[in-house]
Chains A and B, each alone.
Chain A
Amino acid sequence: MNKKIDFTLNGKAVSRDVPTHRLLLDLLRDEIGATGTKEGCGTGDCGACTVMMNGKPVNSCLILSGELAGADIVTIEGLKIGAELHAVQKAFVQDGGAQCGYCTPGMLMMSKALLDSNNNPSEEEIRYALSGNLCRCTGYAKIVQAVQDAAAMLRSKNP
């Protein structure tokens, strides 16, 4: 069953006529063409598809379009602040937090969610927050380091 759905994507109003069972992940990637959000499993087990929905991180492969009415969605394409990279993006570049980069958009969105609520997380808190985001390349060490460095950048800006 198709339904007209209105929501906000990266600050812009979007209106789409889609089947209500269409997953947010597929809506983003296939219908809107925003492929920055990745599909690693489609079953909620890898975190590659993490986006922010109303300020909270969600697996977009578990969200149906029918749930989207009025929602505020932020994806990796909306993480930059104007032309400038978000602190967590800068830190991933500097520390080597991305190798193949396929888990990276999900990692970044989850890291942003953590840093939004806690700008001084311990290593344990970071590891816990990212435990649903699988990475097969990095061994996580440089990702954790990057989140710590991003937190420090954010604190120096907004002490």
Chain B
Amino acid sequence: MSEELTVIGKPVTRVDAYEKVTGQIVYGYDLTLPNMLYGKALFSPKAHAKIKKIDISKAKALPGVVAVVTGADAPWTHGEAVKDKPFLAHGKVRYIGEPVAAVAAEDEDTAQAAVKLIEVEYEDLPVYIDPEEACKPGCVEIHEDYDGYRKAPFMVRGAAPNINEHFKLRTGDVAKGFAESDLILDEKYYVPIIQHAAMEPHSAHAQWDKESGRLTIWVANDAPFRALHEISEALAMDKEKIRFINPAQGGGFGSKGGLKCEPIAVALAFQTGGRPVRVKFNREETFISTLTRHAATVYCKSGVKKDGTLVAREMTIYWDAGAYAEKSPTVCIRGSLPAPGPYRIPHVKVDGYAVYTNKPVAGSYRGYGIPQGAWAGEQQMDELAIKLGMDPIDIRMKNIFVEGDMSYWGEQLHAVGLKETLIKATEAIEYGKKSPINKPGLKIGKGFACIQKPTRSPTTSNAGVTVNAQGEVTVFAGTVEIGQGCNTILSQVAAEELKVPMDKVIMHQLDTDVIPYDASTTSSRSTYHMGNAVRSASIHAREQIMEAAAPMLEVGVQELALGDGKVFAKDQPQQSLPIGEVVKRKLGINGVVRGEASYTYEIGKDLDLETGHSDHASAFYMYATQAAEVSVDEESGRVRVLRMSAAHDVGKAINPLNCEAQIEGGVVMGIGSAIHEELIIDATGKVRNPSFLDYHLVTSLDCPQLIPIIVECHEPEGPYGAKGLGEPGLAPTPAAIGNAVADAIGIRIYDLPLKPENVFWALQKNKKSAA
């Protein structure tokens, strides 16, 4: 329909705001169930050890304890790409924080006391902390049964020990490319482990009803259908016997997909005679026993011509998977593939290795591998420019992807709004203009970085949309509201297509018994995939209403239009019926019209496992440029971000207010990863800073002036032209800040975070070598 859009593109306020500002909304962490038991886990104190003996007798004898379970009671494993993770440790432990046993008791204090009574004897095994060390010949396999695990078909095992995925990209001939280059740079970059630190810690509730054979799990999990599949596969239980119900979720950023508290709760639920069990992790447990973001060591070598034309880029990336594979194989693939950056490069070679270590499990994290590659590639772009005496903008302009370009992985690109983001982001901070700030001991600099991000493909979203006889619309969509605003966006889509006011639309609670399948709330995929599904389902419902209304209004379907909650004849708008009235006349007072739709974006060929090529690797690509102005205190090494612009090609802003909110949140999270955050893990595998006191999140005092900029480069397949936006705000932030710091102090720092001591020592080293 070519009519004007009524709510799409408008900054409507969030549909969930009221229940959030009043404290009425119930999160997973808030939930209590009738007759509930309290579960607590015992976590491994060893990073790599055999379990010689577990004695649970004392714990079992404690009054108030209902069940104690160990790996022997829960002999199941799960995992998405690799089925490698036990519900509770089997025979050995692989990281400090791995759940070894669990207790369900009448109250939390008793459960905690009982956990302390469990006795475990361990026999130490060699501990691997550094992925490059862990894959040296002769290393002990952390997963000695790796070859026997069920693995996804797209996976390629590396030749060396402990590698769970080896991704290869081969384009042109890098040796030839370097031979033809006028300048070659070869550097090593490092990105440490960080954590999602969603404000709501993890929890799960589970109940097993023996009579019906049904297992119900209440959990704030952002991929309930994936979780259901994993549980079903692990337990060899029919899918229809398992039900996931989502209470509200207090953030996630990638940490709440997969299974963390769920297996513990399930293992206990089988032993409680039908009583539900709640397992809550406290903050420290959330730090050590949920998920982290992959540390990455990135070797990056680039060759350019004198005029700045990129000729060759070679990257080797070690992704630190931690003790279990979780999302590592796909982070390795989708993070390594575009790591050379959004540029035309004739000769490219990338090797990505996801390597098991004895550390907490790394998984998906907002940005999915893009920040690590960008930290290396985008800093090296600046270094190349500086060495060539070029402006960093010009070197990028020379090589940057534009509409119709063939990418180095063999895909022709469309809807490429990158150039516009580059121009707008750099203009917004007056890049190239000297800062007027002039304080002794304070250096000011500016920098920027560009990224391109794919989305998980191919994936499917299904949706249902009902309209009742009262004219109320209910959307059945499996996208999880994790704070990103999907409930508002999807309500806007339904309101738009059915031309009803926003307050007539409600989102049905996510319950896998009634909500149709959706792949996951990840990878910035929801606006595009679920937006398309909800749009089509709304249109399907609309068509049924129009068809029913035609005889009622005595005009042909073609002559009808919708507006303001009513069906009316186009040439006689006074001849109208409210849509609820149409439903009522057709189906009665309790009648409901239901529209259904499924959306799958079929990609072309799968990635070729030898070359990494695909003619269509992603349903769409997100493009962004962010630019930072920073100050560096020469005395202390302290970096402050003064302002940061963030220009994002969103395709179409369905809700500009929400787009801004996503960009701002992503940028600030990125600032944390650039200058504050690092999960410190010692040589024994112990996390040294598992608290908000020692792990520094950005506070309200650390924020710069934020300048979100929306660029709309229409994506023809997207709903109303939209792409996605959840993740990219974070991705170029550290590299932009790194470039700004280098601009300020004239020294390039290759390791994150840019915390005061790191910057201070870089300054000291430089002073010495100058002297």
Instruction: For the complex, give the distance between the alpha carbons of A142 and B201 in Å.
Output: 23
Interface size band for B: 35 or more
Does B122 reach chain A (CB closer than 8 Å)? no
Tell me if B18 counts as interface (CB < 8 A to partner A).
Answer: yes
Is the CB–CB distance between B29 and A101 below 8 Å? no
Per-position 1/0 for A86-101, Cβ under 8 A of B: 0001001110111111
Most A CB contacts (10 A, CB to CB) among B21, B32, B197 go to B21
Docked-complex contact B661 and A37, CB < 8 angstroms: no
The answer on a CB contact under 8 Å between B665 and A89 is no
A29 proximal to B (CB < 8 A) = yes
Q: Is A136 a contact of B199 with CB atoms below 8 Å?
A: yes
Contact B16 A139 (CB under 8 A): no
Whole-angstrom distance between the Cβ of A38 and the nearest chain B Cβ: 7
Q: Please tell me if B198 contacts chain A, counting CB pairs below 8 Å.
A: yes
Complex Cα gap A95–B29 (Å): 26
For residue A20, CB closer than 8 A to chain B, the reply is: no
Which residues 11-56 of B have a CB within 8 angstroms of A?
Answer: 13-14, 16-27, 29-30, 32
Stretch of A1-9, A62-70, A123-131, A151-159 that contacts chain B: A123-131
Q: Given A100-B200, A104-B21, A134-B697, are A140 and B668 neighbors across the interface (CB < 8 Å)?
A: yes
Which stretch of B94-102, B530-538, B698-706 is in the interface? B698-706
B697 near A76 with CB under 8 A, answer no
- Evaluate contact between B21 and A35: CB separation under 8 angstroms: no
Whether A98 and B700, one on each chain, are in contact in the complex, defined by CB atoms closer than 8 angstroms, is: no
> Are A75's CB and B23's CB within 8 A?
yes
* Minimal beta-carbon separation of B409 from chain A (angstroms): 32
Q: Is the CB of B26 within 8 A of A35?
A: yes
Q: CB < 8 Å: which of A101, A140, A143 contacts B16?
A: A101
Residue of B nearest to A37 (CB): B23
Which of the segments B305-313, B421-429, B480-488 contacts the partner chain?
Answer: B480-488
Contact (Cβ within 8 A) B22 A76 = yes
Complex CA gap A89/B21 in Å reads 6
Interface range, A side: 35 or more
Least CB separation from A19: chain B residue:
B109
Tell me if B657 is interfacial: C-beta within 8 Å of chain A. Answer: yes
Q: Is B1 an interface residue (CB 8 A)?
A: no
A29 to chain B: which residues have CB within 8 Å? 30
For B25, list chain A residues within 8 Å (CB).
101
Inter-subunit contact B250/A38 (CB<8 Å) = yes
0/1 string, B688-729, CB within 8 A of A gives 1: 000111000111110100100000000000000000000000
CA of A149 to CA of B108, assembled, Å: 42
Which residues of chain B have C-beta atoms less than 8 A from A103's C-beta? 199
A43 close to B692 (CB less than 8 A): yes
Give every chain A residue within 8 A of B282 (Cβ-Cβ).
Answer: 41-42
Which residues B172-204 have CB closer than 8 A to chain A?
A: 196-201
B701:A127 contact, CB within 8 angstroms: yes
One of B26, B483, B657, B700 near A144 (C-beta < 8 A): B700
Binary B-proximity of A28-50 (CB < 8 A = 1, otherwise 0):
01100101111111110110100
Query: How far is it, in angstroms, between the C-alpha of A134 and the C-alpha of B696 when the chains are bound?
Result: 10
For A139, list chain B residues within 8 Å (CB): 664-669, 698, 703, 706
Asked if A58 is at the interface of the complex by the 8 Å CB criterion, the answer is no
Cβ of A108: which chain B residues have Cβ within 8 Å of it? 21
Count of CB-CB pairs between chains A and B under 8 Å: 168
The interface centre, meaning the residue of B26, B660, B666, B701 with most chain A CB atoms within 10 A of its CB, is B701
**List of B residues within 8 angstroms of A140 by Cβ:** 668, 698-700, 703
Contact A102 B200 (CB under 8 A): yes
The answer to the question of B253 belonging to the interface, with a C-beta cut-off of 8 Å to chain A, is yes
Known contacts being A43-B693, A136-B199, is A85 close to B483, with CB within 8 Å? Answer: no
- Contact check, A41 vs B200: say whether CB atoms are below 8 A apart: no
* In the complex, A24 has a CB within 8 A of chain B: no
Q: Is B283 an interface residue (CB 8 A)?
A: yes
Whether B23 and A76, one on each chain, are in contact in the complex, defined by CB atoms closer than 8 angstroms, is: yes
For residues 99 through 113 of chain A, which have their beta carbon under 8 Å from a beta carbon of chain B?
99-105, 108
Say whether chain A's binding surface is mostly helix, strand, loop, or mixed: loop
Residues 354-393 of chain B, each 1 if its beta carbon lies under 8 Å from chain A, else 0 = 0000000000000000000000000000000000000000
* B667, closest chain A residue (CB): A139
B658 CB-CB contact with A under 8 Å: yes
Q: Are B701 and A131 in contact (CB under 8 A)?
A: yes
A116 interfacial contact with B, CB 8 Å: no
Contact with A41, one of B660, B665, B692 (Cβ below 8 angstroms) = B692
Q: B199 to A46, Cβ gap below 8 A? A: yes
CA distance A136 to B730 in the complex (A): 12
Q: Is A133 an interface residue (CB 8 A)?
A: yes
**Considering the chains assembled together, what is the distance between the CA atoms of A8 and B369 in angstroms?**
50
Is the CB of B276 closer than 8 A to any CB of chain A? no
B753 near A: Cβ within 8 Å? no
Chain B positions 650-693 with a Cβ under 8 Å from a chain A Cβ:
657-658, 660-661, 664-669, 691-693
Contact B22 A101 (CB under 8 A): no
Q: Is A138 an interface residue (CB 8 A)?
A: yes
| Chain B neighbourhood of A141, CB < 8 A | 664, 703, 706
Most buried by A among B32, B250, B660: B250
A80 an interface residue at 8 Å Cβ cutoff? yes
Encoded as 1 (CB less than 8 Å from any A CB) or 0, chain B from 478 to 506 comes to 00001111000000000000000000000
Contacts of B667 in A (CB 8 A): 139
B250 touches A43 (CB 8 A): no
Query: Do residues B26 and A99 form an inter-chain contact, with CB atoms below 8 A?
Result: no
Q: Does B248 contact A (CB under 8 A)?
A: yes
Which residues from A are CB-within-8-Å of B30?
A: 29, 35, 38
**Which residue in B250, B698, B703, B706 is a CB contact (below 8 Å) of A102?**
B250
* Assembled-state Cα–Cα distance A100/B250 (Å): 5
Chain B neighbourhood of A105, CB < 8 A: 23
Q: Is B661 a contact of A142 with CB atoms below 8 Å?
A: yes
A137 lies within 8 A of chain B by Cβ? yes
Give A19 to B486 CA distance when docked, in angstroms: 42
Q: Which of chain B's residues have a CB closer than 8 A to the CB of A93?
A: 13-14, 17-18, 21
Q: Write out the residue numbers on chain A whose beta carbons fall within 8 Å of the beta carbon of B27.
A: 35, 38, 102
A17 within 8 Å of B (CB atoms): no
Which of A36, A75, A92, A94 makes the CB contact (< 8 A) with B24?
A36
B445: interface (CB < 8 Å): no
Q: A45-B692, A96-B658, A141-B664 are in contact. Are A131 and B20 (CB under 8 A)?
A: no
Partner of B13, one of A94, A102, A138: A94
Asked if A135 is an interface residue, CB under 8 A from chain B, the answer is yes
With a 10 A CB-CB cut-off, give which of B32, B483, B485 has the most chain A CB atoms.
Answer: B483
Checking B17, B250, B700 against A143 with a beta-carbon cut-off of 8 angstroms, the contacting residue is: B700
Question: Which residues of chain B are near A33, meaning CB under 8 Å?
Answer: 32
The answer to whether B523 has its CB under 8 Å from any CB of chain A is: no
Which residues of A are found within 8 Å of B108, using beta-carbon distances?
30
| Any A CB within 8 A of the CB of B330 | no
Report the bound CA distance from A103 to B485 in whole Å.
16
CB distance from B291 to the nearest CB of A (A): 14
From the candidates A46, A96, A133, name the one contacting B700 in the complex (CB within 8 A): A133
Q: Which residues of the partner chain B approach A142 to less than 8 Å between Cβ atoms?
A: 660-661, 664
Please tell me if the beta carbons of B701 and A100 are within 8 angstroms of each other in the complex: no
Question: B residues within 8 A CB of A138?
Answer: 661, 664-665, 668
A/B interface sample: 20 pairs, CB < 8 A: A38-B30, A38-B250, A42-B282, A43-B693, A45-B693, A93-B17, A93-B21, A96-B660, A98-B20, A99-B483, A99-B665, A101-B19, A102-B483, A128-B701, A136-B196, A136-B198, A136-B697, A139-B668, A140-B698, A141-B703
For the complex with contacts A45-B691, A126-B700, 13 further pairs of A-B residues with Cβ separation under 8 Å are: A30-B32, A40-B201, A76-B22, A92-B17, A92-B21, A93-B21, A98-B21, A101-B16, A127-B700, A136-B251, A138-B664, A139-B668, A141-B706
**Pairs A-B, 8 closest by C-beta atoms:** A36-B23, A100-B483, A102-B250, A101-B20, A139-B668, A76-B23, A45-B692, A35-B30
Which positions in B face A, CB cutoff 8 Å? 13-14, 16-27, 29-30, 32, 108, 196-201, 248-251, 253, 282-283, 482-485, 657-658, 660-661, 664-669, 691-693, 697-701, 703, 706
